[in-house]
């Protein structure tokens, strides 16, 4: 959401190539929201919500893991869809109309959600498989 170097929880760093506000969903095959504590700043972020909504409207692959499916829920794109999330955030999905399953990874059409770090490998494989279909 801002320029400069982004630093990860475990010390990794990366210089983002684009600001979130400048992302055009039409330019991508998929939109993936990654969770963790830092992702909570996007729960009520209108830019994140717009991106999720546009991805859903454009029938793009839309994925989120850990707490990030709560961003999708608040954006309104999980209503009536099977989804999972980090267990602490399950009420967010339920309260926003998602069909919470509690699975490690849930796939519902072009929507893939993962429950947390323990599901990251399976989640990554599901996203990669969906991109090759």
Paired residues of 112 in beta bridges: 63, 107
> pLDDT means per 10 residues in the chain (133 residues)?
84 91 97 92 97 98 98 98 97 98 98 96 98 93
Question: Where do runs of H (alpha helix) occur along 1-133?
Answer: 46-57, 69-75, 90-95, 120-132
Per the listing, tokens 């499916």 go with: 69
pLDDT at 92: 96
Paired residues of 33 in beta bridges: 64
| Whether the model pTM is above 0.85 | yes
Is the distance from CB of 48 to CB of 71 less than 8 angstroms? yes
């Amino acid at each position: 959401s801002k320029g400069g170097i982004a630093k990860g929880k475990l010390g990794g760093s990366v210089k983002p190539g684009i600001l979130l506000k400048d992302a055009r969903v039409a330019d991508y095959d998929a939109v993936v929201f990654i969770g963790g504590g830092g992702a909570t700043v996007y729960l009520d972020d209108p830019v994140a919500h717009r991106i999720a909504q546009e991805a859903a409207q454009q029938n793009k692959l839309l994925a989120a893991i850990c707490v990030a499916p709560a961003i999708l829920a608040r954006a309104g794109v999980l209503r009536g869809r099977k989804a999972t999330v980090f267990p602490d955030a399950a009420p967010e999905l339920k309260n926003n109309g998602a069909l919470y399953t509690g699975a490690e990874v849930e796939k519902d059409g072009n929507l893939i959600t993962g429950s947390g770090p323990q599901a990251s490998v399976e989640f990554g494989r599901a996203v990669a498989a969906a991109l090759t279909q």
